[in-house]
A and B are shown apart, each in its own frame.
Chain A
Amino acid sequence: MVREAFDQELQRLRNEVLVLGSMVENAIIESVESLKNQDGEAARRIIAQDRLINRRRFEIEADALTLIATQQPMARDLRTIAAVLDLSSELERIGDYAKGIGRITLLMGEEHLIKPLVDLALMAGKARDMLHDALGAFIGADTDLAHAIPQRDDEVDALYNQINRELITLILADPSRIGQANYLLWAAHNLERAADRVTNICERVIFTATGEMVEMDAETGGIESLT
C-alpha cells in the first residue's frame, strides 16, 4: 500500500477516539450510579477521571494537527481528521456532563432521595447506547446508522420531560424539596445534553463519509443539508 505509515497513523487516531469514547461511556453510567447509590467516593473518582478525559482529548488534537501538518491529507482523509477533532471535542463535553453529575452526588451528600432515580438511570443507559452506536457508525462509516441514531433522542427527551414533571409535582407538594429537585433536574439536563451531542457526532459521521454537512433535527426527524 502506498501510504502505509499514514494509514496506520490515521487508524491509530480513530482508535484513540474509540478509547476516549469508551471512557466517556463509562463516566456517564458511573456518574448516575454514584448518584443513585449516593456514593461519594465513586463521585470523586469520576471527577478525577475527567482530567484524564481532558488530557486524552488534547493528545488526540495534537496528534491530529501533527498529521495534518506532516502528511497534508486530502479529501476523505482530511474529513476524517476533521471528524476526529470534532468528535474528541464532543466527547470531552459529554465527559464534563458526567463530571457535573458526580459533583451533584457530592452536593447531595446523604440526603434522603425524594424519588427513586430509575428514570435517570434509564436516561443514562439510552444516552450511553446512542453514543456507543454513534462511535460504531464513525468507525464503520455507516451513514444509515448515523441517520437513525438521532431519532432515539426522542426517548431521552421524553424521559427528561417526565422527570421534569415529576420533580415539579414533588416541589409543589413540598417546597422544601426544591434544593434536591433542582440538583436532580440538573443531572437530567446533563444527560439530555449528552444525547444531543451524540446527534452532532452523527452529523459529523455523515460529513466524513459523504462530504455533505447536514443538520439533523431529532424532534422532527428532519434533515437539512448545509452544503
Chain B
Amino acid sequence: MEKITVEHLTFYYGDVLALDDVSISIEDREITALIGPSGCGKSTFLRCLDRMNDSIPNIRMEGQVLLDGQDIYLPGTDVVDLRRRVGMVFQRPNPFPKSIYDNVAFGPRVLGYYEDGSLDEIVERSLRGAALWNEVHDDLDENALSLSLGEQQRLCIARAIAVHPEVILMDEPCSALDPIATLKIEELMRRLKESYCIVIVTHNMQQAARVSDKTGFFWLGELVEFNATETIFTNPVQELTEDYVTGRAG
C-alpha cells in the first residue's frame, strides 16, 4: 500500500536546482533506501517529506508530496502534526540534555498524548520498541548523554515512536556509529518496518543492500532508478546505476 506519493517534485535553493522532476511511490511497512553521491539531492528529498525544508530561506518547490493521498504542502496543513506522523532520526544522535525517561516522554507530554498515569507505559513501550529497554530500564533517570552513541541513537528512535508516527525518516542514521551499533540499528529497522514506513538516506551501499526492500538512486537531483533492492544491486536497468553501485561512478 502506498504511504507516500511524490509527483513531479522540483526543488530549488535560490537559483540552484536541487531536485529535478522526481516522482516516486513509497510503500508502507517497507524500508526504502535512497542512495547516491554527495550533493545528489537525497537529503533534500528526505526533508521534503516532512517539510523540514520550510525553515530554509529562499527555497522554491514545485510538485506534490502526498501522505495517504493528502498533499502535505496544502495551505492550512498542521505541520506540527505532520512532523508527529512523519518522524525524523538524524545523522548525529541528538537526545535532549534530559533524563532518558524525559527524552521519551517529551513528545507525549507536549502533545498531550497520554492519559494520567500512562506515561510510564508509553516510555516502556517506546524503549522496548527501540530495543533499548533492557539496557536502560534501571537507569531511566540517568542523563541521556551518558549513553553510548549507539544507545543515544536508539533513544532518538524511541523518542520518535513515542508519538505514534506512521513514517520514520532516517538521514544516515548509522554514519556516526561503530559497526556493532550499526548492525543493532539495522536489526531494529527490520523490526520497525513491521509497523512503520521507513525511508533511509545512506551513503553506505552495503547497508542499503542489507536492510532495504526498495532502493532509489539519485544523481544530480534526478531519480535515476527506483526498483526492488535486489534488482538495483544485482541487475540494475540503468547503466548509470550499474556504474554507481559497482563503484565506477560518483
Contact = CB atoms under 8 A, between A and B. Distances in A.
A73 interface: yes
Interface in B196-250: 205-206, 209, 233-236, 242, 245-249
A77 B235 CA distance: 10
A75 B235 contact: yes
Contact of A6 (B209, B242, B247): B247
B37 to A, nearest CB: 11
Contact of B245 (A6, A74, A79): A74
B206 A72 contact: yes
Interface residues of B, number: 13
A73 B235 contact: no
B248 A2 contact: yes
Contact of B248 (A3, A72, A79): A3
Nearest to A78: B234
B179 to A, nearest CB: 14
A6 B242 CA distance: 15
Which residue, of B235, B236, B242, B249, has the highest number of chain A Cβ atoms within 10 A? B235
Interface residues of A, number: 13
A76 B236 CA distance: 9
Contacts of A75: 233-236, 242, 245-246
Nearest to B235: A211
B234 A73 contact: no
A6 B245 CA distance: 14
Nearest to B231: A211
Interface in A78-108: 78-79
A72 B209 CA distance: 10
Contacts of B209: 74
A2 B246 CA distance: 10
Nearest to A74: B245
A211 B235 CA distance: 6
B248 A74 contact: no
A3 B244 CA distance: 11
A112 B233 CA distance: 60
B182 to A, nearest CB: 15
Nearest to A212: B235
Contact of B235 (A1, A3, A6, A79): A79
A76 B234 CA distance: 7
A73 B245 CA distance: 8
B246 A73 contact: yes
Interface in A1-44: 1-3, 6
Given A72-B206, A74-B205, A3 B234 contact: no
A75 B233 CA distance: 5
A211 B206 CA distance: 20
Nearest to A210: B235
Interface string A45-89: 000000000000000000000000000111111110000000000
A3 B233 contact: no
Interface string B169-191: 00000000000000000000000
Contacts of B248: 1-3
Given A72-B206, A75-B242, A76-B242, A2 B247 contact: yes
Nearest to A227: B235
A87 B96 CA distance: 57
Contacts of B242: 75-76
Contacts of A79: 234-235
Contact of B234 (A2, A6, A211): A211
A77 B234 CA distance: 9
A2 B233 CA distance: 18
A3 B246 contact: yes
Contacts of B233: 74-75, 78
A2 B248 CA distance: 5
5 contacts: A3-B247, A72-B206, A74-B246, A75-B234, A75-B236
Given A3-B248, A74-B233, 10 more contacts: A6-B247, A73-B246, A74-B205, A74-B209, A74-B246, A75-B235, A76-B246, A78-B234, A211-B234, A211-B235
Smallest CB-CB A-B distances: 10 pairs: A211-B235, A74-B245, A3-B247, A74-B233, A75-B242, A77-B246, A72-B206, A2-B248, A74-B246, A75-B245
